[in-house]
Amino acid sequence: MKILLTGATGYIGKRLLPVLIEQGHAVVCCVRDKNRFPSDGIYSHPNVSVFEVDFLKEISISDLVKDIDAAYYLIHSMSSNVKDFGSLEETSANNFIKLVKQTSVKQIIYLGGITNEEKLSKHLASRKRVEEMLSKSGIPLTSIKAGIIVGSGSASFEIIRDLVEKLPVMITPKWLNTRHQPIAIRNILEYLTGVLLKPETFNKSFDVGGPDVLSYKEMLLQFAEVRGLKRFIFTVPVMTPRLSSYWLYFVTSTSYLLAINLVNSMKVEVVAKDNELEKMLGIKPISYKEAVQLAFQKIEQNNVISSWKDSLISSYSNNSLLKHINIPINGCFIDKKEKEITTSIEQVLDNIWSIGGERGWYYGDWLWYLRGFLDKLVGGVGLRRGRTNKTEIHTGDTLDFWRVLAADKQNKRLLLYAEMKLPGEAWLEFKVIKKNGKNFLQQTATFRPKGLLGRLYWYSVLPFHFFVFDGMAEKVVGYENWKY
């Protein structure tokens, strides 16, 4: 069958796509920016097509989607803005409904949040409102509602991981005693694909969860147990939501806007009601501890398919990549280094494609860490996002406080755009070029300042740039046989 997949470059969408293709479906992937859609691997499969669409704007119908059989709605705006993400979600849902009403779609499948409490956070209330809008569309709706999703790269998993691995002793807010029912990402994918065009699931809503109902404190302690770590957690009643948000923001890799919305949601109990879907689909629930173990198996195999950090919600502003793909020349400061390649080109490309994350930036790492810390202090993304895969990079991925604009290994080019807080805009480009019969690494840092402050910023860091950028280029062409 033919399926419309919204949120195709998001955490769930990237996991769901290969499963749908493996099951033999044709999938139309909705993306706001084609530049963020990889062109290799599963994404180059003949049954995958791309529909560029922004659901925050009016949409024109395309022949590509007119004959779809089912549509997955996996869009959310949780960290776009503390105040207006609810209205953004309603706009997206409304435009989605207008689009699919012009198609032959027989079912909408929606992944929302469990909303059984009377008093909901703004995020959960918005999720419930979107479900109501979709249910009134006239198209059969199957709503799958979940709480915390546990899997390699999920926001909840990575935040818990950051807290457990960095803090032997935690003084925590009282909402850590709130009960939740976590669910493994594998179970989520089984539910999402299991209900596909099953009439018995039409116009029904199902809460789904794992077999364990745990408080956040219990989740942290069980996570530590799986990792063989001894942790001590003390809850206090005096930590305000704002302090809690700062606590999450500075200790974990989350953005501040996401931290605010997470804290507000974490205060609400999220426990699934009984339903028949588990038995109907023959799904075996995975325990919390097993889900954590499975996640680390993926991490240790360097096989993390998707990460919440690669979504634009991890940025402090949701800019389109297309907007920055062309590097400006006029009014810019440019630092260009060229180093002759005496090792193999393949080795240099491997070094470029492995930069950042655990491997670091080859030279002056402590200065990079300091820059990341300063960025966090002023509300930026900092350096903690790392990278999803140790050796692979795709367009749209995060790379510490950079966003990948272009990752073209065939043409020997990697282009990064800075998402740190800056009085201007910055690009970092690596290319392998040929001159006079020799191969060279061309490394170019470009900074377009905003006003006097931007110019002062450039000149203030210029001495550091001289050593760091030159040392980095030297190491990129000089490192051989690096092993993790």
Please spell the DSSP secondary structure of 117-166, one letter per residue. Answer: SSS--HHHHHHHHHHHHHHTSSS-EEEEEES-EESTT-HHHHHHHHHHHH
Given this model, what pLDDT does residue 73 score? 95
pTM of the model: 0.77
185: Cβ contacts below 8 Å, ≥ 6 apart: 15, 149, 150, 151, 152, 154, 291, 295
**Per-residue tokens: 325:** 């793909």
Q: At 457, give phi and psi (nearest 5°).
A: -60, -50
- Tens digit of pLDDT for each residue in 85-105? 678 888 889 999 999 999 999
Closest CA to 327 of 406, 435, 398, 442: 406
pLDDT of residue 235: 85
Q: How far apart are CA 65 and CA 46, in angstroms?
A: 16
Q: Classify residue 419 by burial, with Cβ atoms within 10 Å: 0-12, 13-18, 19+.
A: buried
| Sign of the CA dihedral running 55, 57, 58, 59 | negative
Distance CA 202, CA 287 (A): 28
Between CA 356 and CA 385 the distance in angstroms is: 10
Task: Give the separation between CA 312 and CA 280, rounded to whole angstroms.
Answer: 36
**Distance (Å) of CA 307 to CA 151, 254, 313, 389:** 9, 12, 11, 10
Rounded distance between C-alpha atoms, residue 250 and residue 121, angstroms:
22
Q: What is the largest CA-CA distance in the chain?
A: 72
Which pLDDT does position 34 carry in this prediction? 76
Task: Round to whole Å and give the CA distance between 364 and 464.
Answer: 9
pLDDT of residue 484: 41
| CA 325 centroid distance within chain | 20
- Residue 357 gets the label, from left (phi > 0), alpha (psi -120 to 50) or beta, of left
Tokens of residue 16, six digits? 């769901």
Contact 465, 336 (CB under 8 A): no
Which domains are seen in the chain, by residue range? 2-309 (3.40.50.720), 315-478 (3.30.530.20)
Give residue 433's pLDDT.
93
Residue-level pLDDT, tens digit, the chain, 484 residues: 999 999 888 889 989 999 999 999 999 999 887 776 776 677 778 999 999 888 888 888 888 889 999 999 998 765 445 456 678 888 889 999 999 999 999 999 999 988 887 777 777 888 889 999 999 999 999 999 998 899 888 888 888 888 888 889 988 878 788 889 999 999 999 999 999 999 999 999 999 999 999 998 999 999 999 999 999 988 887 666 667 677 777 777 676 666 766 666 677 888 888 778 999 999 999 999 999 999 888 877 766 666 666 665 545 455 555 566 778 888 899 999 999 998 889 999 999 999 998 888 998 888 888 888 888 888 777 777 888 888 888 888 888 889 888 888 889 999 999 988 899 999 999 999 999 889 999 999 999 999 899 999 999 988 888 889 999 999 999 865 444 4
DSSP at 309 = G
The sign of the CA dihedral 474, 475, 477, 479 is: positive
pLDDT score for 473 = 93
Helix (H), strand (E), coil (C) string for 45-104: CCCEEEEECCCCCCCCCCCCCCCCCEEEECCCCCCCCCCCHHHHHHHHHHHHHHHHCCCC
